[in-house]
Amino acid sequence: MTVKGPRTERETVRADALLRARERRRIWRSWLTPGIGIKRWLVVALVGQVLIALAVALMLRPLIGNSRPGSGSLDLVSLLTLQFLPSEVRIALMLVTGAVVFAYGGWRVLRALVAPYQSHDEPLAEMLYQRRARARGPRIVAIGGGTGLSVLLRGLKEATSNITAVVTVADDGGSSGKLRTQMGVPPMGDIRMCIAALADAEPAMNSLLQYRFPAGEGHDPHFAGHAFGNLLIAALTDVTGDFEEAVRQSNRVLAVRGSVIPVAGRPITLHAQLEDGTTLEGESHIEHAKGIQRIWITPDDVTPSAEALSAIASADIVVIGPGSLYTSLLPPLLVPGMREALANTPAARLFVCNVATQLGETEGYSVSDHLAALASHGLSGMVDAVLVNSNTHAQQLPDDPAAPVTIDVAGRRTGSPRIMPRDVVDDRNAHRHDSRKLAAAILALYDDRTVGRHDGALVEVRS
């Protein structure tokens, strides 16, 4: 299969304009399709309007001095306009009949329009209100990948539909890694999880997209271990010939609230140098490594998605994290052009620190260590505030060697990011964010204008 390279911004804009024009033509044609139960009742409502208009014309006729005495005979026009009745009776009858016919036709049109939504469990009025409220929500860009980003998106989608998830494409393990090797496409595992989290029919859609074909006797070995969502995106890539377009189509097909965008249209490879000088290649090898000193990505000429840059430029708030620091958060930020986009956006920039360490990758890390990692990779000054967990009473899982991330840093001088302690942890799992708590904390910080832009750098101030 041949996959096209990433589109330029001009090509993306042109393609989107053509798609929108084609979609508008399709929608107008669909109104003429027989059987949708709307056109007939529009005609009924129109008849009611005509009757009301005739009644008004009859009332105005004496005022404009254009009346003429009748000939005494009833022609067809006179019969249709009820000339044989007294003027007052004729006007009242037309007004009442027209109003009744118009109201009935309008009611049937409205009923036909809302009928498709009445199968939902929630009341129609509540559903419409929620959709309108979400449409007016803040424009949020979330950058990262993995389980952490999907947890955040699951909470945010209840408050706003103006969400753009900019997702890493550095994975090289599991089903994504196999498809990356076999088809040459960017890995779609993190994208799949984000689409599942934002799907309107979640959790049913989540179960479908996350389903993995079993291995063993009686099962096709070609599908063994593959997630259905990965195969769906891979198939759309084969159909469209373009990975970014395949992800766009996935957003539409799966009724995603907002949009999920790969940070780049090409797969990127992650490299790491450890404290002892050892170098590793591939996310699957780096995620369990201890003592990571720095990471970088190849190829050097990879370019970010034009949609991702546009979303960051028009965002109200940009959220980095939560997620694996070196394998989910830093890779998309290291794509050339992303750092400049973060520096130039007028949006508030919030870093969501993990609630727990990860074996190998961030083992023993505190909040200051997370901030130092960002600064050492050229992201100094790219964060306005840091959201950290303040709830230390969440339930610890038995025999789990990971530990809560300790707060040992505070923004004390102008130019440093504000440290915002909030209860954002899952009460039943001290190593996971609670999606509702996390979304509520982010939206509260934004609504209160607690998170804002300033010029400065990331600093470490140990208590």
Q: Does the pLDDT at position 407 exceed 70?
A: yes
CB 387 within 8 A of CB 420: yes
**pLDDT for the residue numbered 90:** 78
**pLDDT tens for each residue of 152-184:** 999 999 899 999 999 999 998 888 888 888 888
Q: Does the pLDDT at position 3 exceed 70?
A: no
Confidence band of 122 (pLDDT split at 50, 70, 90): low
**pLDDT for the residue numbered 302:** 94
Domains of the chain: 39-117 (no CATH), 131-447 (3.40.50.10680)
Closest residue by Cα to residue 162 from 131, 142, 137, 145: 137
Write down the H helix ranges in 271-426. 283-286, 306-313, 330-333, 338-344, 367-376
Q: Does the pLDDT at position 369 exceed 50?
A: yes
Closest residue by Cα to residue 247 from 192, 181, 198, 200: 192
**pLDDT for the residue numbered 277:** 92
Q: Does the pLDDT at position 136 exceed 80?
A: yes
The arithmetic mean of pLDDT across residues 227-238, rounded, is: 90
The rounded distance, in Å, linking the Cα atoms of 186 and 459 is: 35
The rounded distance, in Å, linking the Cα atoms of 420 and 167 is: 25
**Within a 10 A sphere around the Cβ of 256, how many other Cβ atoms?**
25
**pLDDT tens for each residue of 286-342:** 988 999 999 999 999 999 999 999 999 999 999 998 999 999 999 999 999 999 999
Please identify which residue in the block is written with the tokens 């996310």: 283
Please identify which residue in the block is written with the tokens 């199968």: 119
78-92, 305-319, 372-386, range with the lowest pLDDT: 78-92
The arithmetic mean of pLDDT across residues 195-209, rounded, is: 82
Closest residue by Cα to residue 254 from 209, 315, 302, 299: 209
DSSP string, 105-125: HHHHHHHHHHGGGTTSSS-HH
Distance of CA 381 to CAs 207, 226, 330, 352, 384, Å? 40, 40, 15, 15, 8
Element (H, E) at 387: strand 385-389
Confidence band of 457 (pLDDT split at 50, 70, 90): very low
Closest residue by Cα to residue 143 from 319, 300, 296, 371: 319
pTM exceeds 0.85, yes or no: no
